[in-house]
Structure 1
Amino acid sequence: MKKFFKILLFFFIVIFLVIVIAMIAVGKKYHFEKSIVINAPVEKVWQNVNSMKAVNSWSPFMDYDKNMKQTYSGVSGQIGDTYHWSGNEQAGEGEEKITALEPNKKSSINIRFIKPFEANADADVLLEPQGNATKVTWTFDTEMNYPMNLMKLTMDSQMDKDFGKGLQKLKEISEK
């Protein structure tokens, strides 16, 4: 019986070490980005990314809870334009604030997640004219503490799905 417990203890130590090594190897920083080409001039696309209300017209995260409570503050389309949401378990609670605007080029947003866990992230929507079309790149950057950083191993597929859905909706709205 002692031998069994020694083997079991050894097994748990090995698992623990593998998890610790994985956390260190994965690192804390996470970056994701996705792009789409929209058949509309940059000025038209800009109208759909330069305020929190405009962003929420195509944001895939609005679909997480159709009954989500939403409040806006600050001046729409200006630095400080803020959106607060509170929803179901999938939507959680948080706040997004515009931190930088470069007309027809870039909109930067700071995201503060409150529930189900506290975290901060930054997102940019970058516009690049391509003739009569516009290349839109949506980025997301955050730093995740240990052991939450292990979530990075599965985040890309969900982010790809959500960002793809949002960019497709932005394309549809901008090409009208």
Structure 2
Amino acid sequence: MKTLLKIIGAIIVLILIYAVIAVLAFSKDYHYEKSIVINAPKEKVWTYVGSLKGYNQWDPFSKADKNIVITYSGDGDKVGDSYHWKGDKNVGEGEQAITEIVPEQKMATKLHFIAPFEGDMKANFVVTPEGSGTKVTWMIDNELNAMMKIMKPMMNSNMDKMFSQGLGDLKKLAEK
């Protein structure tokens, strides 16, 4: 019994040490990005990347709730256009608005999360020629609070899974 308590105590101490190191050492600035090369012309890829309605055809986050409600403001392809989503506990509620468009090159957006937590994040979608195909780079930037710094390795793992799924779905759509 004493050995088990020592092991549990050691695990708790290691977790606390990690938490302190994470809070002190990890930057508050969070950046994650992932790219994929799609065997399709830039113009075709842009139809799925350069508008909010196109993005929502391959967005992995909203697919977590089959009953999600999405309401658009504008056509979804101009600065200021946005959409509001409301879903279950897996998806939450929030808004995404276009902040910058460079046709067939870049779309920048601001995400505002309402539930289950309040927060803001920036996303960028960059499209560039790559050989005979098109490279799409999806980036997010966020500011981490202390708890999020502790969870950063889990966030990276989740972002990798979701970005891989989304970019894979984009590739399938654009290569049809």
Q: Normalising TM by the smaller chain, what interval? A: 0.7 to 0.9
Question: Which residue does the alignment assign to 1:138?
Answer: 138
Taking the TM superposition and a 5 Å limit, the aligned residue runs for 1:1-176 are 19-176=19-176
Q: Are the aligned partners of 2:22 and 2:149 in contact in 1 as well (CA < 8 Å)?
A: no
Return the letter of the residue paired with 2:151: M
Where in structure 1 are there 5+ consecutive unaligned residues? 1-11
Segments of structure 2 that go 5 or more residues without pairing to the other structure are 1-11
TM-score (norm 1): 0.87
Q: d(CA) in 1 for partners of 2:57 and 2:63?
A: 11
Q: C-alpha separation between the residues in 2 aligned to 1:52 and 1:61?
A: 13
Q: After TM superposition, which residue ranges in structure 1, 4 or more long, deviate above 4 angstroms?
A: 12-18
For 1:97-148, what per-residue CA distance to the aligned partner results, in whole angstroms no more than 9, with x for missing partners?
1111111111111111111111111111111112330011100110011233
How far apart in 2 are the matches of 1:13 and 1:43?
A: 54
Contact 1:36 1:135 in 2 (8 A): yes
CA contact under 8 A between 2:33 and 2:138: conserved in structure 1? yes
- TM normalised by structure 2 equals 0.87
Q: Secondary structure at the match of 2:150?
A: helix
Name the counterpart of 1:3: none
Q: Distance in 2 between matches of 1:48 and 1:152?
A: 29
The 1-side partners of 2:132 and 2:22 are apart by 46
The structure with the larger Rg is 1
Q: Distance in 2 between matches of 1:157 and 1:18?
A: 18
User: What is the one-letter code of the residue matched to 2:123?
Assistant: A
Distance 1:156 1:16, change over 3 A: closer
Quote the sequence identity (%): 48
Distance across 2 between alignment mates of 1:147 and 1:172:
36
Alignment RMSD, CA only? Answer: 1.8
Aligned pairs, how many? 165
Q: Aligned equivalents of 1:125 and 1:14: distance in 2?
A: 39
Amino acid at match of 2:134: T
Q: Contact 1:51 / 1:81 at 8 angstroms: preserved in 2?
A: no
Match for 1:73: what amino acid?
S
1:17 and 1:151 map into 2 onto residues whose CA distance is 14
